[in-house]
Chain A
Amino acid sequence: DAKTTQPPSMDCAEGRAANLPCNHSTISGNEYVYWYRQIHSQGPQYIIHGLKNNETNEMASLIITEDRKSSTLILPHATLRDTAVYYCIVSPDGSSNTGKLIFGQGTTLQVKP
């Protein structure tokens, strides 16, 4: 079972910031928080990941709370092309070090004009 909880859907106005929350209250010390997204009919796309510190790249920012029990993915200026299902994943899964990803249901983000 996925170790994360996300809202099933969210809307965002084009040009505004999209803030996608994720709860991972059972996360352990060696587990990373990953975000992937899947645009309709495409394979999942890596966005960003982090362990303890906040992270930023050209796509998004990841804010992880100090207790690491939740995080927020921020798309600073959402465009229509950001409409997708966003998956928050905790990895590794248990004691495995294979890097396999356990996907939940994700959040469907709809960016509206």
Chain B
Amino acid sequence: GAGVSQSPSNKVTEKGKDVELRCDPISGHTALYWYRQSLGQGLEFLIYFQGNSAPDKSGLPSDRFSAERTGGSVSTLTIQRTQQEDSAVYLCASSLTAGPSYEQYFGPGTRLTVT
């Protein structure tokens, strides 16, 4: 079956512009996670959704970052007024439900470059 998909695969934007990154989880997966991977920081958790709710937003680095999920499916991560330090690979993952005994399936990521 289809895995987690993300779009775009690559995004180059100018400093100060807003960007939207999209994640399509595996059908039927209720839990969705966003992570980012940058050279200096490794892989870090950003936000978690269960259904359309986000009970854990603790990893969002600033109020320029927001995310939403609609219909318990597609999620969008929005970065406003992008900065060069936002350059990273943004990864989305989904799992059947939340909890430590459920593995997460990752998408291929969106590589964001802020110039």
Residues of chain A having any CB pair with chain B under 8 Å: 30-32, 34, 38, 42-46, 49, 51, 87, 91-92, 96-105
Smallest distance from the beta carbon of A40 to chain B beta carbons, Å?
Answer: 12
Is the beta-carbon distance between B98 and A43 smaller than 8 angstroms? no
Interface contacts (Cβ under 8 Å), in number, total 65
- Closest CB in chain A relative to B44 CB, distance in Å: 7
Contacts A98-B56, A99-B48, A103-B44 given; does A43 touch B102 at CB 8 Å:
no
* Chief secondary structure at chain B's binding surface: strand
Beyond A98-B48, A98-B55, is A32–B106 a contact (Cβ under 8 Å)? no
Nearest-neighbour CB distance to chain B for A53, whole angstroms, equals: 13
Majority SS at the chain A contact face: loop
Interface string of B102-113 (1 = CB under 8 A from A): 111111110000
User: Which residues of chain B from 22 to 78 have a CB within 8 Å of any chain A CB?
Assistant: 31, 33, 35, 42-45, 48, 50, 55-56, 59
- Given the known inter-chain contacts A30-B100, A32-B100, A91-B100, please indicate yes or no for A100 contacting B106, CB distance below 8 A: no
Q: Residue A100 contacts which of B42, B45, B105 (CB distance < 8 angstroms)? A: B45
Contact B44 A99 (CB under 8 A): no
Q: How far is the CA of A96 from the CA of B44 in the complex (A)?
A: 16
- CB of A43 within 8 A of CB of B91, answer yes
Q: Are A34 and B107 in contact (CB under 8 A)?
A: no
